[in-house]
């Protein structure tokens, strides 16, 4: 008997206004141990998909199961790194305080501090532990948020463009870390940087309101449906560059 999927969406629709679905009858399954890259044009519903999995958005229709039950009951088993949006951190917390916010309930004191510092060490930001969170650069903050997600020892890790504010030198290290973590944690990664993760992810989901494809590789037809223009399926089937003349609706 096959193992229950970690994530299962069935005919899920959701939107932010009447008649304007961000997700349109989406069927999506993620098996235990998978490392999924979710790609697609801006406004295609990628961030919304993560919020539905977290239970932060309730679908208009369809069903969502995470670890075999309602999403809200699974949050203690999920680590989440939201997209960097310039969050105001001008209040008196250190980088270590931020990471400790991700600890499981009841794990505080010296043991919690050690767990948080170990997560920061993995991201290379342990030296920033006592720094005021508001003084960190965008890239440093993003690494601190990833450390916060890891501090809870999640079984499922959701990341929304985690390298967006990280400099190029740091991006390679971050993606290498995610590849190592994928040996023990199920990962769903929203990204535009498909070339950087092409060799490490195990499947690719292409989303543009509807789930166009979820497979080990993506062919030209699926990419046309998602992006609305010709995209060259190279780097193990992931879209890397736009080809030919195309309309303004293409966002690769």
Residue 166, SS3 per DSSP: coil
Give percent of the chain above pLDDT 90.
42
Cα–Cα distance for residue pair 52/248, rounded to 1 Å: 29
Does residue 199 have a pLDDT over 70? yes
- Say what the pLDDT of residue 222 is: 52
Distance (Å, whole) CA 252 – CA 231? 8
Question: Are 167 and 140 within 8 A, CB to CB?
Answer: no
Closest CA to 81 of 167, 10, 152, 33: 152
Residue 2 lies in a domain: no
Angle, CA of 133, 76 and 12, to the nearest 5°: 105
80-114 pLDDT, tens per residue? 998 865 556 677 889 999 999 898 877 888 999 99
Q: How many CA atoms lie within 13 A of 150 on its CB side?
A: 25
Tell me phi and psi for residue 99, to 5 degrees. Answer: -65, -40
Position 26 pLDDT exceeds 70:
yes
Distance in angstroms (rounded) separating the CA atoms of residues 13 and 20:
10
Of residues 140, 110, 148, 106, the one with CA closest to residue 124: 140
Domain presence at residue 151: yes
What CATH number should be reported for the domain holding residue 236? Answer: 3.40.50.300
For the chain, the domain total comes to 1
Establish if 1 belongs to a structural domain: no
CB 95 within 8 A of CB 144: yes
- Among the residue ranges 26-30, 198-202, 230-234, the one predicted with the least confidence is 230-234
Q: For residues 159 and 81, is the Cβ–Cβ distance under 8 A?
A: yes
Q: Tell me the two tokens of residue 172.
A: 């390679």
> Cα 68 from chain centroid?
20
Query: For the whole model, what pTM was predicted?
Result: 0.82
Residue 126 lies in a domain: yes
Classify residue 123: in a domain, yes or no: yes
Domain annotation covers residue 55: yes
Asked if the structure places residue 250 within a domain, the reply is no
Burial 101-132 (b: 16+ CB within 10 A, else e): ebbeeebeeeebbebbbebbebbebbebbeee
Domain of residue 157, residue span:
7-242
Distance CA 29, CA 154 (A): 18
- Pairwise CA distance, residues 40 & 161, whole Å: 12
C-alpha distance across the termini of the chain, in Å: 39
CB of 53 closer than 8 Å to CB of 66: yes
pLDDT tens digit sequence for 156-183: 999 998 887 777 777 888 888 889 899 9
Residue 247 in domain: no
Q: What Cα–Cα distance (Å) separates residue 160 from each residue in 1, 76, 79?
A: 33, 18, 11
The span from the CA of 225 to the CA of 57, in Å, is 26
């Amino acid at each position: 008997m096959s193992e229950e999927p970690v994530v299962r969406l069935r005919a899920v629709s959701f939107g932010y206004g009447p008649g304007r679905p961000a997700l349109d009858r989406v069927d999506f399954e993620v098996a235990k141990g998978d490392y999924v890259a979710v790609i697609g044009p801006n406004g295609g519903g990628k961030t919304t998909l993560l919020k539905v999995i977290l239970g932060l958005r309730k679908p208009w229709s369809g069903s969502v199961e995470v670890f075999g039950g309602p999403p809200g009951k699974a949050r203690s088993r999920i680590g989440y790194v939201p997209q960097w949006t310039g969050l105001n951190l001008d209040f008196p917390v250190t980088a270590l305080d931020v990471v400790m916010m991700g600890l499981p309930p009841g794990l505080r004191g010296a043991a919690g501090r050690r767990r948080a510092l170990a997560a920061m060490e993995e991201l290379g930001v342990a030296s920033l532990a006592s720094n005021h969170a508001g003084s960190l650069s965008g890239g440093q903050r993003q690494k601190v948020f990833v450390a916060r997600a890891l501090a809870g020892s999640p079984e499922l890790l959701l990341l929304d463009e985690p390298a967006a504010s990280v400099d190029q030198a740091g991006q390679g290290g971050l993606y290498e870390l995610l590849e190592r973590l994928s040996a023990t944690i199920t990962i769903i990664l929203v990204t535009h940087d498909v070339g950087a993760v092409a060799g490490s992810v195990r499947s690719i989901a292409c989303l543009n309101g509807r789930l166009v494809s979820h497979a080990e590789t993506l062919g030209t037809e699926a990419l046309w449906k998602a992006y609305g223009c010709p995209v060259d399926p190279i780097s193990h089937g992931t879209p890397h560059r736009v080809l030919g003349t195309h309309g303004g609706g293409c966002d690769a």
